[in-house]
Chain A
C-alpha cells in the first residue's frame, strides 16, 4: 500500500541569457518531506526534473555562504531554510536582489569580491615582528570586540537586504564594512587610518540610512548595521578633528 506522497510547488525565477529576453517564473512539483531544505528541493529539481536549472551551493550547512537566494522575497540561505515552513503553499525562489543575474539563481558577485579586496582585510602589524617573538596575545575582552564581526561567511544576504546598495551600488555595503570594522577593532592591527579613508567617503558609512534589514537577515549574527552605524560616530569625530588639525599634519 503506498501512502500518497506530499508535493510542494517550487516556483523559480529562470533566466538563460542565450535564450531569454528577460527572466520568467517556472514552477516545479517537488516531493515534500519534513526535513527537506529549499536547497534540497532545488537539488531534486536539478537531478530529477530539469537539469538546466543553475544555482550555487556547497556545504549544505550554512557556513560556505554559496546558496543565498530570495525565498518568498526574503534573503535566506537555501540550506538553512525549510520547505515545511512554506508547505502547503508554494515557495518562490529568486536570485539575490540587487545583483545582476547571470543565469537562473546565479548572480554576479564581482562587485562584492572587489569591495572585499579594497578594505585591507588582514592584520597590518603595528611594528615589524619576527617569528621568534611568538604569537600575539589577546585577552577574551579584546576577542569579544571582534568575534561577531569576524563570523561573516560572505553570503551577500545583507547586500540583497540593503536598499541603499540596491539604489546605489557604489555603496561599499554592510558586509564589507562589517569586515572593515573587524580589522579596525582588532587589538593587533595598525591600519585604521587607511581604512578610515573608505569609511569617511560617501560610499562608506554615509550611504547607510540605518534601515537595519541587513542585520535582520544575517545568518551568522554579524550585525553589520551596528558595524556601519557605530562607525558614523567614529567618522564624524574624525571629520571634526580633521577640521581643527592644521593641514598636512599626519593623517
Chain B
C-alpha cells in the first residue's frame, strides 16, 4: 500500500493544536478584549511604536510567525477533514484549497514580518 503524506500535515496540525491549546485563550483575551478595553492591561500596549518594536525584534518575529503559521496549519487541516465528515468529496482540489490557504497565510506573514525590518 502506498505510504501516505498525511504525517506532514498532521505534525503541523499537532504543533498548532498544542500551541493554540496552551496560549490561544490568553492571546485572544489580551489582543481582543483586555487591551482594547484597557482591562487590567494598558490600552497603549499594542500601540504602533510598541508593536513595531516587538515585530522588529527577532523573538517577536518568531512568536508572531509561529502563532500565525501554526494556528493556520492546525485550523485548515481540521477544516479539510471536517469537510469530509460533512460528506464533501475531499479530493486533490479541496486539499489544494485548504492547505493552499494555510500556505498563503504563512507566506504573507513571513513576507510582512521580513518587510518590517529589524
**Is A–B contact present in the complex under a CB 8 A cutoff?**
yes
| In the complex, residue of chain A having the shortest beta-carbon distance to the beta carbon of B2 | A201
A204 contacts chain B at the CB level, 8 A cutoff: yes
Name A236's contact: one of B11, B85, B87 (CB within 8 Å).
B11
| Given A206-B10, A232-B10, A239 and B3 contact (CB-CB distance below 8 Å) | yes
Tell me the A201-247 residues at the B interface (CB within 8 Å): 201-204, 206, 209, 232, 235-236, 239-240, 242
Taking A201-B4, A232-B10 as known contacts, 5 extra A-B pairs with beta carbons closer than 8 A to each other, sorted by chain A number, are: A167-B85, A200-B4, A202-B6, A236-B7, A242-B3
Taken together as a complex, chains A and B put the C-alpha atoms of A128 and B3 apart, in Å, by: 30
- List the 10 closest A-B pairs by CB distance, nearest first: A201-B1, A236-B7, A239-B7, A206-B6, A202-B4, A206-B4, A200-B3, A209-B81, A236-B11, A201-B4
Interface string of A164-184 (1 = CB under 8 A from B): 000100000000000000000
Chain A interface, DSSP helix/strand/loop, else mixed? helix
B50 contacts chain A at the CB level, 8 A cutoff: no
The answer to whether A240 touches B7, judged by C-beta atoms less than 8 angstroms apart, is yes
CB-defined A-B contacts under 8 Å, sample of 27: A163-B85, A167-B84, A167-B85, A167-B87, A197-B1, A198-B1, A200-B3, A200-B4, A201-B1, A201-B3, A202-B2, A202-B4, A202-B6, A203-B1, A204-B1, A206-B4, A206-B6, A209-B81, A232-B7, A235-B7, A236-B7, A236-B10, A236-B11, A239-B5, A239-B8, A240-B7, A242-B3
Taken together as a complex, chains A and B put the C-alpha atoms of A34 and B84 apart, in Å, by: 43
Give the A-B contact count at a CB cut-off of 8 A. Answer: 38
Taken together as a complex, chains A and B put the C-alpha atoms of A202 and B5 apart, in Å, by: 8
Taken together as a complex, chains A and B put the C-alpha atoms of A86 and B86 apart, in Å, by: 31
Interface string of A148-173 (1 = CB under 8 A from B): 00000000000000010001000000
Question: What size tier do the contact residues of chain B reach?
Answer: 10 to 19
| In the complex, residue of chain B having the shortest beta-carbon distance to the beta carbon of A196 | B3
Instruction: Return B95 CB to nearest CB of chain A, in Å.
Output: 12
Instruction: Return A207 CB to nearest CB of chain B, in Å.
Output: 9
Interface size on A, residues (CB 8 A): 17
| In the complex, residue of chain B having the shortest beta-carbon distance to the beta carbon of A238 | B7
The chain B residues found within 8 Å of chain A, CB to CB, are 1-8, 10-11, 81, 84-85, 87
Residues of B within 8 A of A232 (CB): 7, 10
Taken together as a complex, chains A and B put the C-alpha atoms of A201 and B11 apart, in Å, by: 16
Taken together as a complex, chains A and B put the C-alpha atoms of A149 and B6 apart, in Å, by: 25
Taken together as a complex, chains A and B put the C-alpha atoms of A236 and B2 apart, in Å, by: 14
Taken together as a complex, chains A and B put the C-alpha atoms of A128 and B8 apart, in Å, by: 38
Instruction: Return A12 CB to nearest CB of chain B, in Å.
Output: 28
Residues of A within 8 A of B4 (CB): 200-202, 204, 206
Residues of A within 8 A of B1 (CB): 197-198, 200-201, 203-204
Tell me the A34-67 residues at the B interface (CB within 8 Å): none
Instruction: Return B45 CB to nearest CB of chain A, in Å.
Output: 37
Taken together as a complex, chains A and B put the C-alpha atoms of A239 and B87 apart, in Å, by: 29
Taken together as a complex, chains A and B put the C-alpha atoms of A235 and B1 apart, in Å, by: 14
Residues of A within 8 A of B3 (CB): 197, 200-201, 239, 242
Taken together as a complex, chains A and B put the C-alpha atoms of A235 and B81 apart, in Å, by: 19
Taken together as a complex, chains A and B put the C-alpha atoms of A198 and B2 apart, in Å, by: 9
Instruction: Return B9 CB to nearest CB of chain A, in Å.
Output: 10
Taken together as a complex, chains A and B put the C-alpha atoms of A209 and B87 apart, in Å, by: 14
Instruction: Return A27 CB to nearest CB of chain B, in Å.
Output: 31
